Chain A
Amino acid sequence: MLAAALVALALAFAAPPRVFAQQTGTVTTKWRDLPIVHIQLFTNYNAGCGTVPAVIGTQPTPHPGSDAICGNTTTPVDFGTVQAGSAYLYKYAVHLNVQSNDPTGCDIYGEGAADFYLSGTTSGSTMSASSLYYLPSGATSDTNTGFSPSTPFMLTSSPVGGYNEATAPSIAYTVYPAPIAVSGVSNSDFYWDYQLKVPFGATNGKSYVWVVYTVVGK
């Protein structure tokens, strides 16, 4: 009896259950996914790749250097033997394939990670990275000559990681340079020839440089 009285007392002082008016509304949530950008680089991508001296008129047959193999798209762009003070075209040098889920396209950047260094070394410029030029080419046809308009690669001003002769380095950008090409669609292909304009003061011997391509979704 006492217990029943205590329970009744407790219930008497207990707060009534809270009652809320139910309200409904809409919440629009928007977010932006980080686009995915994937690139593939192919060198010496077509038969007939290789070096052509800059001459006016009938064009000589292209000949790549010994480290380059036409159709083997992982071999270096090897100009072979070149003369100081002379200019050369390298046909079918680089094919860049961009795949992205960003429908607005991509910006493409290309810079020299360093100046040309003698093979086996990682310092001591033999010629400027800007001695190397790029110009549009085609997938299977190419009418460029050593005199065709081209644009020099610039030496990057951003930090370069892992520079050595064997493996591709990286460039850590905080501010991107001017793009060398732009794409307005999600998937695209770019084909470039290279030109090498060897300064008269270039150091004799085998030199190398890494050109780093960076593709950024818009």
Chain B
Amino acid sequence: MTRIRRAMLLFAIVALLPVVTDALIQQQRAQIQVSITINVTPNPLGYAAPPPAATDTSVNGIVARMTINPKESPSHYHAESLVFDSGRWIAQSQGGIKVEATVTPNPNGTLLVSNVPGVQFGQEAGTVMTYPCAYIVTVTTTQTAWTLEHGLFSDFSGFSGSFTGHDAANKTHLTTGTPQPVYTPFIVYSGGQSWVIAASSGLTKSYCVDLQITLPISLAGGAYSTVAVYTLFY
């Protein structure tokens, strides 16, 4: 190894040492989650919509009609193949659950916050939709060097099924900045992936999170959800 190469290696080590040590000694300071719920409507291709329920009593809801002739002798009554379809009869039972909570201020104040606890979108199976600035994550601190990590905790799940969290992609950019040209799929923590850095910066910053959701065409209708997790280190 020549002397010049040794010098360059030493310079690289010296230059990188503060970055590495800073990353190693950073501690988790705050963590928040933002729920992402997709209300999926089935794709109409191959979907046979059920007939509407008979909810009215107007002529449109009548499926059989009888006319009584008061002059007709009872002995001449004719009845052939009569079908009385009642339509949908409603039987229901109802009950309530009381839920309580006592809210107190957050000791971390506004260190790491989102503008909403969760977002909900309606989308048809088999489509790709983008949701610009679906939510905003803000770091409020005087620290000059911090790291914000993010990812999805799990795949999307609902009572109708599930789909991979990798079908959700994001552009996380300063609210005052220009979005990146392409979307990046979220990592899925419960799938064995590690959190990734959303931003390394300092002081107070707000980030728009643009979402792009790609739904499989075979997805059944219903609500599917997951949570995006944001963790602040410094």
Contact = CB atoms under 8 A, between A and B. Distances in A.
Contact of A149 (B89, B114, B227): B227
B100 A79 contact: yes
Contacts of A77: 97-100
B212 interface: no
Query: How many A residues are at the interface, by size bracket?
Result: 35 or more
A196 interface: yes
A77 B84 CA distance: 46
A155 interface: no
A31 B102 contact: no
Nearest to B79: A27
A95 B155 CA distance: 25
A206 B79 CA distance: 66
Query: How many B residues are at the interface, by size bracket?
Result: 35 or more
A209 B99 contact: yes
Contact of A206 (B90, B92, B100): B100
Nearest to B223: A151
B156 A216 contact: no
A123 to B, nearest CB: 17
A20 B76 CA distance: 10
Contact of A211 (B91, B92, B99, B222): B99
A207 B118 CA distance: 20
Contacts of A94: 97
B102 A80 contact: yes
Given A82-B103, A94-B97, A151 B37 contact: yes
Contacts of A20: 75
Helix, strand, loop or mixed for chain B's interface? strand
A216 B99 contact: no
B107 interface: yes
Interface string B114-158: 101110100000000000000000000000000000000111111
B95 to A, nearest CB: 5
B103 A84 contact: yes
Interface string A31-47: 11011111111010000
Contacts of B94: 39, 170-171, 212-215
B101 interface: yes
Interface string A149-172: 111100000000000010011110
B157 A149 contact: yes
B106 A149 contact: no
B47 interface: no
Contacts of A81: 102, 104
Interface in A105-157: 113, 116, 119, 126-127, 130-133, 136, 146-152
Contacts of B49: none
A186 B65 CA distance: 33
A147 B154 contact: yes
Contacts of A194: 99
B225 interface: yes
A29 B85 CA distance: 11
Interface of B: 31-33, 35, 37, 39, 55, 75, 79-84, 86, 89-108, 110, 113-114, 116-118, 120, 153-159, 189, 222-227, 229
22 contacts: A27-B82, A28-B81, A35-B91, A43-B97, A56-B153, A65-B102, A76-B99, A82-B104, A133-B35, A147-B33, A149-B224, A168-B95, A168-B98, A170-B96, A181-B159, A197-B33, A200-B114, A207-B101, A207-B103, A208-B100, A212-B96, A215-B93
Given A43-B97, A130-B118, A213-B95, 14 more contacts: A25-B80, A32-B89, A38-B93, A67-B100, A79-B99, A79-B101, A87-B117, A100-B91, A133-B35, A148-B153, A152-B35, A198-B117, A210-B97, A212-B97
